[in-house]
Structure 1
Amino acid sequence: MARWKPTAALRSTVKERKPIDKKPSNAERSALFARREAAKVLRSTLQGDARRRAVGSIKSLVYSPSVRNKKATFALVCQTLKHLSIIKDVLEEANVLSAKWKKHQELMYIIAYDLLFGQEVSLSGDAEKYLMLKKDALQSALSRILRRKGVKTVEDLLGLDKKSEVRKPRYVRVNTLKIDAEYAKSELRQQYSVQEDDMVPDLLILPPGADLHNHPLVKNGSIFLQGRASSMAAVALGPKPGWKVIDACSAPGNKTVHLAALMKGKGKIIACELNKDRVKRLQDNVKLAGAINVKVKHGDFLNLDPKDPSYSKVRAILLDPSCSGSGTAFDRLDHLLPSHSAEGTSDHVDVKRLQKLAGFQKKALEHALSFPSVERIVYSTCSIHQTENEDVVNSVLHFASSLGFQLATAFPQWPRRGLPTFDGSEHLLRTDPTIDKEGFFISLFVREGLAQNEEHQIRRNSHSRARKPLNIFVAKMLKVSRHHRFKLSCNRANAASSRGI
């Protein structure tokens, strides 16, 4: 009997087909790329927080030119940080990460957030596929943690800080090296309501939440997203066009390029920055602003020799050193960082860290005071702590006075002054985190004697230069007169001789 053979059509229906990998959609590719970008930002953020020396805030890292999908990346980083302690507990409880994937832990944190709390993760990525296979184990681990903590939902476990919801206006500083305020207002008013700030020239106020990071004026450096208090520091220093100025701790460079604009691009600004990564950001901002009078110096301000002839004509120094950042913590989203969570509450103060910071701040301020030709120094911080503000200023007052410096009042019309911890604290300026939506501190030292002597010398030199042409003319006339008299006497002598006298 002949064996039965299936027809070709039947064979095609029963033939086992190999699975075909479906090409990821544009949305899936975009999500995949955003998770990788978010992982890089998260790595920099966590490393900086662990060292207590961040390269930049979460916002500045996300909105750097290297990040393309800014909106999705920002959302992923913030949400992952909010849930980070839970994500770490879940991954540890489930014990699903092999040694290979532990090397990419920031990416695994991002994917785990999407898998457990966010959108469904697409399978277009090896890391995504790996964690998707472990999804049941992760969800079981999360359920056990909730039961152990005695809560029913993740929201109960999070206990998110409501202060993070504080909203403040979007401040925009016009870069007058490129455009004027009127042009900026006309462009921005096409999308937003715009007001002028009554304290800082060329500073505009837009509604809270105005997203300008992709606006053409931001991308070409015509405007900078800079807070009001931060913008007040350069204005308080008041450098004149043609001056030589030092920005002692300058990265990321917002205050540096503000100084350049106030100086109308004339004179010279030496912008010091010690951190290599921050130097790159500083250079990018200087180039973007078109601040041609800025020279970036990769080095420690404390290593500059005040007696070096190259600094003999420095007339102003802006010193905005490393500080606790307590005044702008919520604006920088510091409440999302592990160090903040570990402290328990936002009111916790790391006294040892503050004392260490204050020691460096005092040393830097004394160094700034030591430059022989300096007339004006601004010492500012984005801190709310007396230790970093009034105490630092008070500790150098005797030394400053011995060099001819006195405290001057920056922005006399500003209502909030320094804490009354010593005589003269009314000259200091503070902004309030509640009222002004950020905490900032500004002090201004002025060496009046030197400034007056130099102005007097300038006026005297100017007067001398004005008289010089007249003096030359008089000298020439006297010379001509003497020559004329000599010639006249000779003629008389010759005439007398001819007559036989």
Structure 2
Amino acid sequence: MLEEEMARHTHAKRTAKRPSSRDIAADKKDGKRRMSGAERSAYFARREAAKVLRMVLQGDANRRAVASIKSLIYRPSVRNKKGTFALVCQTLKHLHAIKDILDASSILNSKWKRQEELIYVVVYDILFGQAVSLVGDVEKFLSCHKDILQSTLKQLLLQRKVTSVRQLVALYEVPDISVPRYVRVNTLKLDVDSALLALSKKYTVKKDELLPDLLVLPSGTDLHDHPLVKNGRIFLQGKASSMVAPALAPEPGWEVLDACAAPGNKTVHLAALMRRKGRVIACELNKARIKRLKETITLSGASNIEVLNEDFLNINPKAPSYSKVRAILLDPSCSGSGTASSRLDHLLPSKAAGQDFDMERLNKLAIFQRKALQHAFSFPAVERIVYSTCSINQIENEDVIMCVLPMAESYGFQLVTPFPQWQRRGLPVFEGSEQLLRTDPAVDGEGFFIALFARNGANSARMNKKDTKAACNNCTRTKNFSRRKHMLPCIHTNMFYRWIYHQLNQRR
């Protein structure tokens, strides 16, 4: 069962409550109808859901979401998270039918169309939910047209040749993937063993075999209202997402740049790995996402993060304030195809069955991703760079790495294997792609891609002898510079690579 289906039952139970006799008596005494607690909760839940729905639909229409559906619902400003989650998910599931019904019924004028998201939510409640009492102007207006809405729904069922609403909704559904519930322990506030002990009092929980700060719970475990989540001691974060910061492996005392930081889960993970020592620069261009980023940082208790409202591509790598940056985490905008299920993206209108694949958008994303990664190589003191996406598309992953490899090598960077014990590696489209890391959405629940670059020479002294030997064996492969192939000896010095780059530029 989908997570939103479980939430629907919560919403149905909540909206089915009737006003108590005490409330009704008080209303009669005052000479007016006052909302009961259940009615007030439902009233505000619909409006909170409408606000979230507006951001979701606008982001989907512009192909630039502020955040995922879950992130928008579970932010601190949303009070009734369960009720809002149920309303948003169920409204999106029924949105195609709701729009067709409203268009066919012709009951909306320009006044009501300005509140279209709230209209969608209330229509869901009237036709498909179990709302008993509808309080509010929009609710009263639509209640007056309930018969028209219901008759239009019957006509829609006949047109689509189905006999029930369930069959109608099933036309747009995609199969659900059952994956465990992962939680990352925020070691800035709580140690892993204490978190394990606290959660084991109510849930079946164990430590992850790969990541020491990750705990695994059964699929469908709802922890959104758990005190450890609310106070930032644990974060609801998937395993693949939790692998990105450890792949970069920043050391305490380093300066680290998170190039596209919001919503901030990986940013605060970096701060935890650095044990509050050093500096994390969280760069984010979108002002709306900056707010979410700051909320995440505050919740985590991290004190060594500096938020920068700036375009990463506009940062001058030679500026004194970035002269000591030793690691860059680049998790740029991507298609999100690898997390479509966990993000509930299959509920979005753009993911409707039969919609054409947006290749033009993928090409634009890939261009930006290449530019951002190339820009990361130009920071003079950087030793390690992680490039990651939550995409399964080769054009955003292996193709980006293959395109930037000549520049990476000219700056003295080479690919290094993150998590060597992980079995799923990059697609075999170029020599060395086995050093890339992939996760499979069908097996791991999310489709992530991780590439790790390390600079050769003195700046890579933290590589142990075994890693250095492995790197030397890889250096004998052919390297493509200026469309010519040169066999380069295994010389791990920045000066050597800069000299080679200068010589090749002169030959042009």
TM bin (shorter chain): 0.7 to 0.9
How far off its partner does 1:331 sit?
0.3
1:133-168 per-position Cα deviation (integer Å, ceiling 9, x unaligned): 001111122222222333322233222556443221
**The one of 395, 398, 403 aligned to 2:406:** 398
**Whole-Å separation in 1 of the counterparts to 2:247 and 2:126:** 50
1:248-267 correspondence runs (5 A): 248-267=259-278
2:391 — aligned with what?
383
Shift in alpha-carbon separation, 1:307–1:166, aligned structure 2, 3 A: same
Equivalent residue in structure 2 for 1:440, among 440, 443, 448 = 448
RMSD across aligned positions (CA): 1.8
CA contact (8 A) 1:244 1:267 kept: yes
- Give unpaired runs (5+ residues) of structure 1: 1-16, 457-501
2:243 counterpart of 1:238: no
Q: How far, CA to CA, are the matches of 1:431 and 1:165 in structure 2?
A: 17
Alignment of 1:316-331 (within 5 A): 316-331=327-342
The aligned residue for residue 92 of structure 1 is: 103
Question: Hey, what does 1:358 align to over in structure 2?
Answer: 366
Distance 1:431 1:340 in 2: 22
Among 307, 332, 344, the residue aligned to 2:354: 344
Deviation at 1:25, TM superposition (A): 2.2
Aligned counterparts of 1:39 and 1:168: Cα–Cα separation in 2: 29
Report if aligned partners of 2:173, 2:346 keep a CA contact under 8 Å in 1.
Answer: no
Alignment pair present for 1:51 and 2:59: no
Displacement of 1:447 in angstroms is: 0.4
User: Is this contact kept in 1: 2:262–2:284, CA < 8 A?
Assistant: yes
Q: Aligned partners of 1:115, 1:25: CA distance in 2, in Å?
A: 19
Q: Which residue of 2 aligns with 1:412?
A: 420
Structure-2 change in CA distance of 1:452 and 1:117 (3 Å): closer
Q: Secondary structure at the match of 2:391?
A: coil
Matches within 5 A, 1:488-499: none
d(CA) in 2 for partners of 1:156, 1:205: 34
Query: 2:318 aligned with 1:307, yes or no?
Result: yes
Q: Could you tell me which residue of structure 1 aligns to residue 201 of structure 2? A: 190
1:278 aligns with 2:289: yes
Task: State the distance in 2 between where 1:155 and 1:254 align.
Answer: 36
Q: Secondary structure at the match of 1:435?
A: helix
- Asked if the contact 2:87–2:121 (Cα under 8 Å) also holds between the matched residues in 1, the reply is yes
Q: Secondary structure at the match of 2:155?
A: helix
Match of 1:487 in 2: none
**Aligned AA (1:400):** A
Aligned to 1:481: none
Query: In the aligned structure 2, how far is the partner of 1:435 from the partner of 1:229?
Result: 11
Structure 2: any 5+ residue segments left out of the alignment? 1-27, 465-508
Range moving further from structure 2, 285-294 or 163-172: 163-172
1:77 aligns with 2:98: no
Larger radius of gyration: 1
Of the three residues 28, 35, 39, the one matched with 2:39 is 28
Partner of 1:495: none
Provide the residue aligned with 1:224 in structure 2. Answer: 235
Q: CA deviation digits over 1:275-303, x for unaligned, max 9?
A: 10110111111111111110000111111
Q: CA offsets per residue over residues 290-342 of structure 1, 9 Å max, x none?
A: 1111000011111110111211111100000000000000100000000001x
SS state at 1:400 partner: helix
Letter in 1 for 2:264: G
Counterpart Cα distance in 2 of 1:110 and 1:244: 46
Aligned pairs for 1:284-295 (under 5 A) are: 284-295=295-306
Aligned residues of 2:254 and 2:278 also touching (Cα < 8 A):
yes
**Greater CA drift, 24-33 or 278-287:** 24-33
Q: 2: distance between equivalents of 1:394 and 1:364?
A: 14
Secondary structure in structure 1 of the residue aligned to 2:415: strand
Partner-residue secondary structure (3-state), 1:177? coil
Give the Cα–Cα distance (whole angstroms) in 2 for the partners of residues 196 and 163 of structure 1: 31
Q: Kindly provide the CA deviation profile for residues 62-100 of structure 1, in whole angstroms up to 9, marking residues without a partner as x.
A: 111111111111111111101101101111111111221
Native 8 Å contact 1:324 1:357 kept in 2: yes
Residue 470 of structure 1 corresponds to none
| Candidates 140, 143, 147, aligned match of 1:132 | 143
Q: How far apart are 1:208 and its partner, in Å? A: 1.2
Task: Tell me how far apart the structure 2 counterparts of residues 182 and 227 of structure 1 sit (CA, whole Å).
Answer: 19
1:63 is matched with 74
Q: Larger deviation: 115-124 or 401-410?
A: 115-124
Note the 1:461-500 alignment, pairs <5 A. Answer: none
2:168 aligned partner: 157
State how far apart, in whole Å, the 2-side matches of 1:227 and 1:263 are. 21
2: distance between equivalents of 1:252 and 1:281?
A: 6
Deviation at 1:455, TM superposition (A): 9.7
Contact persistence 2:412–2:456 (CA under 8 A): yes
What amino acid is aligned across from residue 35 of structure 1 in structure 2? R
**Are the counterparts in 2 of residues 410 and 443 from structure 1 also a CA contact under 8 Å?**
yes
Deviations 1:355-393 (A, max 9, x none): 110000000000001111110000000000000000000
Residue 335 of structure 1 corresponds to which residue in structure 2? Answer: 346
Report the Cα distance in structure 1 between the residues aligned to 2:402 and 2:286, rounded to whole angstroms.
29
Change (3 A) 1:120 1:222: closer
For these two proteins, the number of residue pairs brought into alignment is 436
TM-score (norm 2): 0.83
Matched residue of 2:441: which SS?
Answer: coil
Equivalence for 2:493: none
**Contact 1:375–1:450 at 8 Å: present in 2 too?**
no
Opposite residue 199 of structure 1, the aligned amino acid is L
Identity of aligned residues (%): 64
Q: Per the alignment, in what secondary structure is the counterpart of residue 442 of structure 2?
A: coil
Correspondence for 2:430: 422
How big is the shift at 1:220?
1.3
Query: Are the equivalent residues in 2 in contact too, given 1:121–1:128 (CA < 8 A)?
Result: no
